[in-house]
Structure formats: C-alpha cells, structure tokens
Structure 1
Amino acid sequence: MTIINGNRQYRPFSTILFPYNKRMAKELEIIPILSIPGVVFFPNTSLPLFVAEPLYIQLIHDCIENGTALGIAMAENDIYYSSGKLKPKNIFGLGRPIILEELDDGSLKVLIRGIGRGKIIAEHQHLPYPTYLIERYYDKSDGLKIHGPRITRLRAILDEWLVDNIAEPIEREAFLRTLTSIYHVVDYIGMFLIQDKELRQLLLENESINERIYMLNILLKEENPFTEDKGVLSAIKSFESLEKHAKIGH
C-alpha cells in the first residue's frame, strides 16, 4: 500500500522514561489521540471507524507503519484548542488500527482493537495531527473477590441483547467467542447498553472491576435491563461529582 505523507516536519512517536520522583521512573509514550464527540472507547472492545479526512487517513497509516497505539477519547463538550481541534477527555481508550477496506477515494474502513486505557500527561504537538504524552491507566487491586452471581446476571443480559440485535446466528456466535473474560462483558455492556455518555466515561475512568460490576447491576433493572435506570444514573453522577469536589478540596 502506497503511503504519501510528504516531507514530515514533526517529531516521531516514541516511548520515553520520565523520572517523576527520585526512586521511580514511569514509562510514558507519545501517541496520537482522536477526539470524537460522544464516543467512549472501552479497552476490551473493538470500534469500527470510517475515516475520510486525508489528515486522519495519514494518521491511521502512520500508526500501522510505526506499530503505534492510537488513543480514542471522548471530546470535551465544545472545548477546542487554538488549533481548532477538539480537546480530549483526560482518560481514554487505547487501541491498534486494522484497515478492513481502502475505498477508491482513499477513505478507510478501520477497526480499532482495544488494548488498554491511557491518561494524558501533557500535550505534545498539534501538527500534522494532535499527539500527547501519556501513561497507561490500570485498575487498582482492591483485594476483593469478584461476585459470581452479578457476573452471571450481566452475561445473561448481554447474551439476550445480542440475540435481539444480531440477527445472524453465525455472526452472533463469532462475537460471543470473543467474550473471553468478565472484562469483555463489562466493557461491551458499557459500549452497547449504557446510553448516557457521561456515565460511559465514568465507567471508563473507574479503577475497580468490582465497582463497575456493581454499578452496572444496579443501573440495569430487572424490568428494563437494556437501558440504565434514570434514578440510579442521577445518584451515581451526583456521588461522583461530590467525590471529585471533595478530592479537589483536599
């Protein structure tokens, strides 16, 4: 595949060591991030994209050529940099792009396979497209045993949703075979069933698989398990807002 990028005047993607105190050094990366309104990319999912703008076609080719991860972040509401680019949320999903089809006009059908989460440390550069200094973002170990019945219930909800929404049995079975862990189940429920974008972002930012399992179980009520309960949604948002302000106050 021919890739024409012209004379590049920007610094390449890289991995560096950034000493953040005297005893430790944390590995940071420089990667491009796509900011997309309303889209939250979970780490154990795959996201299909149609890429038509030449600049972002170049970005996809560069990531594949350099073996670089790509960040997919929900855009901050109506917040733009001076360059005119949307500002990304601080926590985002990381993936690797796979080109499924290149159309005659050069546009691409791409699948982004999730590989993890990232946290923005600093802006790196805006040209030719936005890149950032980031660190990987992981769950914290809470030492609690994952609750079996809650997992079983979530898997049953997802299975039922897939029956209703993927009519072709072979396609549905192929998808089900990709659900190899509770992390896949939790992330795909967040992707498919949770409608509120702010709640999806809260789930992405949460650092405990047990908390995410609990939140999804109370959000998806028995009488309507395919969408979040509005009362529980409001309570979770209020709690998260209070907790965030309490942290800032300290």
Structure 2
Amino acid sequence: MMKAAKLPRVIPVFPLPGALLFPRARLPLHIFEPRYLQMVEDCMATPERLIGMVQPITESRLSAIGCAGRLTAFSEMEDGRYMITLTGISRFRIGAEVNGFAPYRSFEVSWDSFAADLGRAEHDPALDRAAFMALLRRYFDNVGFETDWDSLHGADDELLINSLSMLAPFDPEDKQALLEAPSLSTRRETLVTLMEFALHGGTNEEMM
C-alpha cells in the first residue's frame, strides 16, 4: 500500500470521457495515441508509475477531481499499441498545469482531501443488498447488459458499488458525481438514483 508521503506532487493525466477509476479498483486501458504511448513509457521510468485518470469537460478543461492509478500490468502489441492496467491508489484535486516538453499534460495535484483512499476497503453498513440487486437486475435488463450474477452477489460492498459505477453507461457528468461521492454509502445512493431515473425514462436535463 502506497503511503501519502510517497505520492508525487506532479503527475501525468489521461483525460478519457466516461472512464472512471477508484482506489483499489483495476482499469484496463488500450493505449494507441502517440502522446499517450509516450506517457506510458515515461510513467514506467518513474518509481511510483502513476497516471491520473480525469474526466474532460471540454477539449482544454478538465474536471477538478480525478483518481491516480499505479501501472501494474503492461503488454505491447505487435503494432506498437499498449495494453495496460491501472490499479487505483487515491483521488486527487487538480492544481496548476505544468508546462514541459512532453506531448501529454501534467498537473500539480493535491491528495490532502483523500487520505481515506489510502486506507482499507470501505464498507456500506446501510446497503440493503437484496433490494439493490433487484434494482440492478431491472436496470441491466433495461440497458441490455449481461453479467455474472453469482460474482456480483459474492462481491464485497466496495468492489460491487465501485465496479458498477465504473461499468454502467452513465453520462460523464454522472460518472464524475460518483467519483466525487465522499463515502461509499453516498456513492451507492447516487448510483441508485441514477438507475431509478434511467428506468423511469428521465433525461439529464430533467435531473439537473
């Protein structure tokens, strides 16, 4: 487990709409753009091997909060593309952009508000698993998702809620709300609201 004192103050960021990472979760990525191929190569040369996943707002503006992952798996394809896996370490707040010669963007970041991310897995004591799974089944049927229900039933609270937050086809704004939830219980409540809203045929404009 990485200690707060070991977290760097400047990290490269990968803005990818709809791609969420949470502490202790794993995110597989297919890297093919030249600038991000360079980012991966530079990342592997650092002791921390961290990349920050961030939701873009526009082409130039990024969301204020992202999550950094440690590069824990890497393979190179015959055509030069990379398949990597990031394991979530901690969320961060974006600060000033650091200008340099790299083709990708790097930022000063603050980890101060997210000390709990470096601790043990969270639990959701208010989770009614039977009701939650029933809602989830209705939602998956509605969006045409298939899953391994036995694995979901056996997953611990954090793995269940965070994995669903990462995989569900919500809009980037909704994904960001899930990422910024201050606790696992709040994230689960947000997830329930989003699924119920989708089942009732709501739109983002109505939600706002």
Task: Please say whether Structure 1 and Structure 2 have the same fold, judged by a TM-score greater than 0.5.
Answer: yes
| Paired amino acid for 2:97 | E
Equivalent residues, number: 192
For residues 182 and 166 of structure 2, the distance between their equivalents in structure 1, rounded to whole angstroms, comes to: 17
Is the contact made by 2:52 and 2:69 (CA closer than 8 Å) also made in structure 1?
yes
Residue 186 (str. 1) matches residue 161 (str. 2): yes
For residues 229 and 44 of structure 1, the distance between their equivalents in structure 2, rounded to whole angstroms, comes to: 32
Distance 1:197-1:55 versus aligned 2 partners, 3 A rule: closer
Structure 1 unaligned residues grouped into runs of 5+: 1-14, 18-26, 81-86, 239-250
| Paired amino acid for 1:64 | M
For residues 98 and 81 of structure 2, the distance between their equivalents in structure 1, rounded to whole angstroms, comes to: 27
Is the contact made by 2:152 and 2:160 (CA closer than 8 Å) also made in structure 1?
no
Q: Which structure is larger by alpha-carbon Rg, 1 or 2?
A: 1
Give the structure 1 partner of residue 40 of structure 2.
Answer: 60
Distance 1:153-1:46 versus aligned 2 partners, 3 A rule: farther
Give the structure 2 partner of residue 121 of structure 1.
Answer: 95
Distance 1:70-1:153 versus aligned 2 partners, 3 A rule: farther
Give the structure 2 partner of residue 243 of structure 1.
Answer: none
Give the structure 2 partner of residue 220 of structure 1.
Answer: 195
Give the structure 2 partner of residue 95 of structure 1.
Answer: 69
RMSD over equivalenced CA pairs, Å: 3.6
The offset of 1:148, in angstroms, is 3.4
Distance 1:133-1:186 versus aligned 2 partners, 3 A rule: same
Identical-pair percentage: 23
Give the structure 1 partner of residue 28 of structure 2.
Answer: 48
Is the contact made by 1:195 and 1:228 (CA closer than 8 Å) also made in structure 2?
no
The offset of 1:123, in angstroms, is 1.2
Report Cα offsets for 1:12-43 as digits up to 9, x if no partner: xxx989xxxxxxxxx76211001123433333
Is the contact made by 1:219 and 1:233 (CA closer than 8 Å) also made in structure 2?
no
| Paired amino acid for 1:114 | G
